């Protein structure tokens, strides 16, 4: 069945969903960036929307909130992640659920910071909320947990920030210091001009908070403030050298367990499942009856994350 | 022997009194001849001991020209004396048995101003507070005391007490404004 999508957020993820929706048999009827929107009940043409954004810096002539007045089935919330009250993303979700529409989130804020509020709104709506894209990009983490059943997964741990992992694995491979590799990562577009969200562990922590919320299945609610978070700024090249001498390396490892959420640089054996290199991500699930499951892949990027968004959309059919 | 073998063996039930197995450390001296290590380990297995680890100090000879070997094993309390007797009966030189019970080793890295915060004092505090033995230290201070330095420590801790030892290390590090890169002890990593 073809579903009609309304996309909020015209960044790499929102733009890629616009490009790829047709490939998954869906059509985009509305698309908004932070200042404008465009809609067409017959489906938007991705190329002309991108061209308009390129030329005029806007996607259309309407107000962004006009997307809520279109005839859509699923809201794709792909605006930037915000902390605390998770606004404006949370209000977007609230509005769509109030109108009994489905919501697919790529934005981590509402599920990391206001999970309980979100579930309460969902319970009163005909619509449902999916958020595979918020955790680990293309990696099917949440759908795997959903298939196993959250009560059969006792812990999740792994590497869920490609920027920090790129920096640590480059430092280890080249014997370079943090500042040097960070500059390289920024040149390559792997790290942002302000890398703090990634290198201070906040991005990884948000993802593990979401995992903790999913795993606790309503028994407890976690927010970023509940997580014990340490980034990679304090890991010098000499620490990686000493780790390598001992057959180990350092990775920014997140954990969501019954004792809470923790993100910190940790020693792991070289060549082990969790010592992924470059921007690769991995999640390791500890199951009650089936041992460990490792799922790895690309944890970020427009088309990769859009793939997770569109898989969520297909689950709603 | 791989770690997994050790885990599955230590999970295995032992016959005997039914009391929980306790970890023990035995220090042996072996003559530098083929087959010596194997004949030293046989009496342990035959008498209900589970081998946890064998630390073979390669290249390090005792004053008598023997090779020191440290064996960590686990066995029911009433079996330990039997194992030591069996070793001695087999002609193995048992130097020390059961004086300390360190069943697990763990590596970690300390980062910060290690020299000016008195690394020696840091190590002693860890040994006292964590009931652990620091068995290996490697220090790397590529820029002298100008930049943060790193030290890799290997700790021998009591069986099942590794998490408690790491908590102590974390507290001591926090007091001295040092960072700890802890090992991931859970899971296969």
Three-state secondary-structure class, residue B78: helix
User: Is residue A283 within 8 Å of residue A297, measured between CB atoms?
Assistant: no
User: Is residue A2 within 8 Å of residue A14, measured between CB atoms?
Assistant: no
B154 → chain A, closest CA residue: A246
Q: Is B113 on the interface with A (CB under 8 A)?
A: no
What is the rounded CA–CA span in Å between residue A117 and residue A123?
A: 10
A238–B149: do the CB atoms touch at under 8 Å? yes
User: Is residue A245 within 8 Å of residue B138, measured between CB atoms?
Assistant: yes
Question: Can you read off the two tokens belonging to residue A182?
Answer: 């960070």
Top-level class of domain A142-298? alpha beta
A155–B186: do the CB atoms touch at under 8 Å? yes
pLDDT digits (tens, 9 = 90+) for B155-180: 888 777 888 899 999 999 999 999 99
B151–A242: do the CB atoms touch at under 8 Å? yes
Displacement of CA A43 from its chain's centroid (Å): 26
In the DSSP assignment, the letter for residue A80 is P
The answer on pLDDT for B84 being more than 90 is no
Q: Is B149 on the interface with A (CB under 8 A)?
A: yes
- Which of B108, B150, B187 is the closest to A236 by Cβ? B150
Residue A207 annotated in active site: yes
The pLDDT of A181-205, averaged and rounded, is 93
What pLDDT is recorded for position B3? 40
Residues 6+ apart with CB under 8 A from B81: none
What is the rounded CA–CA span in Å between residue A140 and residue B124?
A: 47
Sorted by where each starts, the structural domains of chain B and their CATH numbers stand as 13-97 (3.30.70.260), 104-181 (3.30.70.260)
Q: Which one of B150, B153, B154 makes the best mutation probe of the A interface by having the most chain A beta carbons within 10 Å?
A: B150
pLDDT digits (tens, 9 = 90+) for A112-160: 999 999 999 999 999 999 999 999 989 999 999 999 999 999 999 999 9
pLDDT digits (tens, 9 = 90+) for A3-17: 999 999 999 999 999
The pLDDT of B22-50, averaged and rounded, is 84
Q: Is B62 on the interface with A (CB under 8 A)?
A: no
A234–B140: do the CB atoms touch at under 8 Å? no
Grade residue B57 by pLDDT with cuts at 50, 70 and 90: low
What pLDDT is recorded for position B1? 39
What pLDDT is recorded for position A125? 98
A245–B181: do the CB atoms touch at under 8 Å? no
The answer on pLDDT for B29 being more than 90 is no
A129-133, A204-208, A217-221, B127-131: lowest mean pLDDT where?
B127-131
Count Cβ–Cβ pairs < 8 Å, chain A vs chain B: 86
What is the rounded CA–CA span in Å between residue A124 and residue A66?
A: 24
A155–B182: do the CB atoms touch at under 8 Å? no
In the DSSP assignment, the letter for residue B14 is -
* Shortest Cα distance, chain B CAs vs residue A125, angstroms: 40
Displacement of CA A26 from its chain's centroid (Å): 22
The pLDDT of B1-14, averaged and rounded, is 44
Q: Is B59 on the interface with A (CB under 8 A)?
A: no
What is the rounded CA–CA span in Å between residue A141 and residue A283?
A: 7
- How many other C-beta atoms are found inside a 10 Å radius of the C-beta of residue B11? 8
Chain B residues with beta carbon closer than 8 angstroms to that of A230: 179
- Which parts of chain B fold into alpha helices (H)? 3-11, 36-46, 80-89, 119-130, 162-175
* Shortest Cα distance, chain B CAs vs residue A266, angstroms: 5
Domain ranges for chain A, please list them.
4-137+303-315, 142-298
User: Is residue A52 within 8 Å of residue A58, measured between CB atoms?
Assistant: yes
Q: Is B187 on the interface with A (CB under 8 A)?
A: yes
What is the rounded CA–CA span in Å between residue B123 and residue B53?
A: 24
pLDDT digits (tens, 9 = 90+) for A272-283: 999 999 999 999
User: Is residue B115 within 8 Å of residue B181, measured between CB atoms?
Assistant: no
A61-65, A181-185, B30-34, B150-154: lowest mean pLDDT where?
B30-34
Q: Which residues face B107 on adjacent strands?
A: B154
- Which of B112, B140, B182 is the closest to A266 by Cβ? B182
Sheet of strand A4-8: strand arrangement: A37-39, A27-32, A4-8, A74-77, A102-105, A129-130
User: Is residue A8 within 8 Å of residue A75, measured between CB atoms?
Assistant: yes
pLDDT digits (tens, 9 = 90+) for A68-99: 999 999 999 999 999 999 999 999 999 999 99
Name the percent of chain A lying above pLDDT 70.
Answer: 100
Q: Which one of A176, A238, A255, A275 makes the best mutation probe of the B interface by having the most chain B beta carbons within 10 Å?
A: A238
B187–A155: do the CB atoms touch at under 8 Å? yes
pLDDT digits (tens, 9 = 90+) for B131-151: 788 888 999 988 777 788 999
Three-state secondary-structure class, residue A132: helix
User: Is residue A115 within 8 Å of residue A102, measured between CB atoms?
Assistant: no
* Shortest Cα distance, chain A CAs vs residue B64, angstroms: 31
Residues 6+ apart with CB under 8 A from B133: B100, B102, B127, B155, B156
Three-state secondary-structure class, residue B99: coil
Say which CATH topology domain A4-137+303-315 has. Rossmann fold (3.40.50)
Grade residue B85 by pLDDT with cuts at 50, 70 and 90: confident
Chain A residues with beta carbon closer than 8 angstroms to that of B111: 234-236, 238-239
What pLDDT is recorded for position A29? 98
What is the rounded CA–CA span in Å between residue A101 and residue A71?
A: 10
Q: Is B142 on the interface with A (CB under 8 A)?
A: yes
Instruction: Work out the end-to-end distance of chain A between its first and last CA atoms, rounded to an integer number of angstroms.
Output: 6
A250–B138: do the CB atoms touch at under 8 Å? no
Q: Is B185 on the interface with A (CB under 8 A)?
A: no
A239–B184: do the CB atoms touch at under 8 Å? no
């Amino acid at each position: 069945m073809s579903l009609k999508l309304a996309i909020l957020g015209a960044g790499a993820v929102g733009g890629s969903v616009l490009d790829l929706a047709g490939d998954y048999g869906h059509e985009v009827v509305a698309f908004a960036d932070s200042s404008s929107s465009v809609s067409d009940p017959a489906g938007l043409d991705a190329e002309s929307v991108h061209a308009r954004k390129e030329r005029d810096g806007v996607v259309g002539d309407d107000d962004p909130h006009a997307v809520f007045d279109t005839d859509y089935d699923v809201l794709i919330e792909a605006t930037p992640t915000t902390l605390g009250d998770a606004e404006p993303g949370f209000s977007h979700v609230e509005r769509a659920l109030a109108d009994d529409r489905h919501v697919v989130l790529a934005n981590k804020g509402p599920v990391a910071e206001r999970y309980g509020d979100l579930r309460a709104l969902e319970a009163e709506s005909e619509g449902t909320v999916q958020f595979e894209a918020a955790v680990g990009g293309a990696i099917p983490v949440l759908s795997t947990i959903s298939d196993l059943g959250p009560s059969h997964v006792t812990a999740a741990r792994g590497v869920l920030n490609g920027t920090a992992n790129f920096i640590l694995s480059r430092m280890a491979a080249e014997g370079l210091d943090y500042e040097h590799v960070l500059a390289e990562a920024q040149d390559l577009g792997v790290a942002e001009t302000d890398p703090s969200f990634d290198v201070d562990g906040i991005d990884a922590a948000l993802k593990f908070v979401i995992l903790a919320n999913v795993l606790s299945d309503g028994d407890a609610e976690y927010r970023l403030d509940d997580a014990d978070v340490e980034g990679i700024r304090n890991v010098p090249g000499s620490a990686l050298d000493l780790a390598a001498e001992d057959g180990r390396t350092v990775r920014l490892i997140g954990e969501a367990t019954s004792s809470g959420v923790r993100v910190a640089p940790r020693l792991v054996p070289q060549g082990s499942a969790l010592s992924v290199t470059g921007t690769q991500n991995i999640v390791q699930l500890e199951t009650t009856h089936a041992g460990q499951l490792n799922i790895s892949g690309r944890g970020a990027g427009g088309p990769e994350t859009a793939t997770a968004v569109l898989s969520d959309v297909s689950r709603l059919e | 022997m791989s770690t997994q073998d050790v885990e599955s063996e230590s999970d295995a039930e032992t016959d005997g009194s039914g009391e929980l197995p306790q970890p023990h450390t035995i220090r042996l001296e072996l003559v530098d001849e083929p087959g010596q290590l194997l004949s030293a380990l046989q009496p342990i297995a035959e008498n209900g001991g589970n081998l946890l680890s064998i630390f073979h100090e390669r290249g390090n000879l005792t004053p008598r020209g023997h090779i020191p070997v440290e064996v960590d094993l686990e066995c029911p309390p009433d079996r330990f004396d039997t194992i030591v007797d069996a070793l001695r009966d087999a002609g193995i030189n048992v130097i020390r048995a059961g004086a300390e019970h360190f069943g697990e080793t763990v590596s970690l890295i300390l980062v910060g101003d290690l020299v000016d915060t008195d690394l020696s004092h840091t190590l002693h505090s860890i040994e006292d507070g964590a009931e652990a033995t620091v068995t290996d230290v490697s220090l790397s201070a590529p820029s002298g005391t100008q930049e943060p330095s790193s030290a890799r420590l290997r700790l021998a801790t009591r069986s099942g007490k590794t998490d408690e030892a790491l908590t102590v290390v974390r507290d001591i590090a926090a007091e001295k404004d040092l960072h700890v890169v802890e090992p991931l002890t859970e899971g296969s990593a």
